[in-house]
Chains A and B, each alone.
Chain A
Amino acid sequence: MAISEATIESMIKDLPLPKNILDTLRKDTFGVGVSKKEMEEIILRVVESYEYACVEPCEAVGVVSAQSIGEPGTQMTMRTFHYAGVAEINVTLGLPRLIEIVDARKSPSTPMMTVALDEGYSTDRDKARAVAWEIEATHIEHLADVTTDLANMQLIIDLNGKILTQRNMHIDDIAEKLRDELKVNITSPDAVENQLIITPDEPSYRLLLQLAKNIHTITLKGIEGIARVVIRKDGDEYTLFTEGSALKDVLYIEGVDATRTHTNNIVETYDVFGIEAARNSIIKEAIDTLNEQGLSVDIRHIMLVSDIMTCDGAVKQIGRHGISGEKASVFARAAFEVTVNHLLDAGMRGDVDNLNGVTENIIVGQPIKLGTGDVHLVAKRPVIE
């Protein structure tokens, strides 16, 4: 006799199973007409296979992960630098990128942001373009021709009026900005339209040439460090891709959907969104890098790595200054890198090694505390009367 959905629900809701297995269980049993006896059998088998699939206690998951990421790593391209997915934006891929991720570099070699747009902006190309201009750093060379006039000791800036209107900028704002940054005298002649003349405080060649150089470093509009913004249509929504990353500044811009904006810089993600977002970012970046190379590594291995990297509240690198360098055992650290230094320092400090880990037990020739090596048999002696 078939049982109701409510009965099935009450039978499965307290099972020690993860959410997606429970969801599948519900999907497959609801409305099929299983009897109570069948349902019990199903649950028994599901729990049994789940427990069978679980990793066993004392299993060396770290070593398995290291092997599972390391082996495909050998097949990765040593040096790739090309245009992946996003049009025209250069991103580091392959092994160099993977190394960058596990090293938790402060800034990746090719920082990049994916900027989602708010409703109303995301479907309108012109509005999307306007947001892009707000983000992209605009320098004087984008807008004007700068000529050094040595005869009159001045810089002549001929602004391109068309580009100014396109980028929604005004000549007065530019003059203001340059005046603030360079602290010089700027005049706008009435005879010629869209022209600015900069004269240094005192007539000196050195000052003039320095001025001609400095003027190019000033960001007139947009966010410093964002070299380029590319608009792409994903489905029916426009998304911006930026070369360079400044997450915090971008989130303040009108029209940007802060809840769906990402950067490929893990440390920046940590600073802005916190440790859990950084962990998600490590997983995503690592798995994307591997998949892009056509390598399929189980996500659990990557998850283990990212959990270890984020377990004490900050993003730690795998390596000398992170996980491996913080091991409690002197032998384990010495076995990794700079052996003599570690032994010498430990000797001077009088450190004690309790031989709890794997490496140190192999070094001294004892069974390691893994698998069956970690289980002790305790027998209760029968009481003899």
Chain B
Amino acid sequence: MRKFSLLDHNSVPKHEIIQENEVKSLLDKYQIEKGQLPKIKQSDPVIKELGASVGDIAKITRNSQTAGESLYYRLVIDD
């Protein structure tokens, strides 16, 4: 069986789990609660690979056709 990282696939953008202090500054910046962020399931293949737990926030660096690069945040939820 061959193995490869999903993050290497050319249509999967970079996902990373952000630290507690970064979470705080993110929520302060947009003045929102965690629950108001877009979601990503814990069973999502990429989240499984990263091994994140429910309540973590994934920072996604998308390749955007309009902005070059754009940041997106998703809250890991139970499914």
A-B contact count (CB 8 A): 88
A residues 143-175 in Cβ contact with B at 8 Å: none
Determine the chain B residues whose CB is within 8 A of the CB of A262 once the complex forms: 11
- Interface residue A299 (Cβ < 8 Å from any Cβ of B): yes
Contact with B along A303-339 (1 / 0, CB 8 A): 1000100111110000000000000000000000000
Determine the chain A residues whose CB is within 8 A of the CB of B74 once the complex forms: 275, 313
**Which residue of A277, A284, A300, A311 contacts B66 across the interface (Cβ within 8 Å)?**
A300
Does B10 lie within 8 Å of A274, measured CB to CB? no
Determine the chain A residues whose CB is within 8 A of the CB of B9 once the complex forms: 258-260, 273, 277
Minimal beta-carbon separation of B49 from chain A (angstroms): 9
Contact with A along B26-70 (1 / 0, CB 8 A): 000000000000111100111100000000000010101111111
How many residues of B sit at the interface, in one of the four size bands?
20 to 34
- Interface residue A254 (Cβ < 8 Å from any Cβ of B): yes
Minimal beta-carbon separation of B4 from chain A (angstroms): 5
Which of A18-26, A192-200, A212-220 interfaces with chain B?
A: A18-26
Determine the chain A residues whose CB is within 8 A of the CB of B1 once the complex forms: 252
Minimal beta-carbon separation of A223 from chain B (angstroms): 15
- Interface residue A224 (Cβ < 8 Å from any Cβ of B): no
Chain B interface, DSSP helix/strand/loop, else mixed: mixed
Does A258 lie within 8 Å of B68, measured CB to CB? no
A residues 15-34 in Cβ contact with B at 8 Å: 18-23
Chain A: how many interface residues by the 8 Å CB criterion?
33
Determine the chain A residues whose CB is within 8 A of the CB of B60 once the complex forms: 276
Minimal beta-carbon separation of A336 from chain B (angstroms): 23
Provide the bound-state CA to CA distance between A19 and B61, in Å.
12
- Interface residue A280 (Cβ < 8 Å from any Cβ of B): yes
- Interface residue A272 (Cβ < 8 Å from any Cβ of B): yes
Provide the bound-state CA to CA distance between A299 and B10, in Å.
19
Does B12 lie within 8 Å of A20, measured CB to CB? no
Q: A258-B2, A313-B41, A313-B74 are in contact. Are A274 and B12 (CB under 8 A)?
A: yes
Contact with B along A263-275 (1 / 0, CB 8 A): 0000001011111
Determine the chain B residues whose CB is within 8 A of the CB of A254 once the complex forms: 2
Provide the bound-state CA to CA distance between A156 and B15, in Å.
57
**Which residue of A21, A271, A272, A313 contacts B40 across the interface (Cβ within 8 Å)?**
A313
Provide the bound-state CA to CA distance between A19 and B47, in Å.
26
**Which residue of B6, B46, B68, B77 contacts A18 across the interface (Cβ within 8 Å)?**
B68
Provide the bound-state CA to CA distance between A300 and B66, in Å.
8
**Which residue of B39, B41, B45, B77 contacts A273 across the interface (Cβ within 8 Å)?**
B45
Determine the chain A residues whose CB is within 8 A of the CB of B39 once the complex forms: 311-313
Does B79 lie within 8 Å of A18, measured CB to CB? no
Does B68 lie within 8 Å of A20, measured CB to CB? yes
Provide the bound-state CA to CA distance between A300 and B64, in Å.
10
Determine the chain A residues whose CB is within 8 A of the CB of B77 once the complex forms: 313
Centre residue among A19, A23, A272, A307 by max chain B CB count within 10 A? A19
Minimal beta-carbon separation of B32 from chain A (angstroms): 14
Q: A259-B10, A312-B38, A313-B40 are in contact. Are A274 and B46 (CB under 8 A)?
A: yes
Determine the chain A residues whose CB is within 8 A of the CB of B12 once the complex forms: 273-274, 276-277
Does A19 lie within 8 Å of B45, measured CB to CB? no
- Interface residue B20 (Cβ < 8 Å from any Cβ of A): no
Closest chain A residue, CB of each to CB of B48: A274
**Which residue of B6, B11, B62, B66 contacts A299 across the interface (Cβ within 8 Å)?**
B66
Q: A20-B67, A259-B4 are in contact. Are A276 and B13 (CB under 8 A)?
A: yes
Minimal beta-carbon separation of B31 from chain A (angstroms): 14
Closest chain B residue, CB of each to CB of A260: B10
Determine the chain B residues whose CB is within 8 A of the CB of A313 once the complex forms: 38-41, 44, 74, 77, 79
**Which residue of B4, B44, B47, B62 contacts A258 across the interface (Cβ within 8 Å)?**
B4
Minimal beta-carbon separation of A270 from chain B (angstroms): 8
**5 extra interchain contacts, Cβ-Cβ under 8 A, other than A258-B9, A312-B39?**
A258-B4, A259-B10, A273-B45, A277-B9, A313-B77
The 6 listed contacts between A and B (C-beta, < 8 Å) are: A18-B67, A258-B2, A273-B9, A274-B46, A284-B11, A310-B38
Residues of chain A whose beta carbon lies under 8 Å from any beta carbon of chain B:
18-23, 251-252, 254, 258-260, 262, 269, 271-277, 280-281, 284, 299-300, 303, 307, 310-314
Residues of chain B whose beta carbon lies under 8 Å from any beta carbon of chain A:
1-2, 4, 6, 8-13, 15, 38-41, 44-47, 60, 62, 64-70, 74, 77, 79
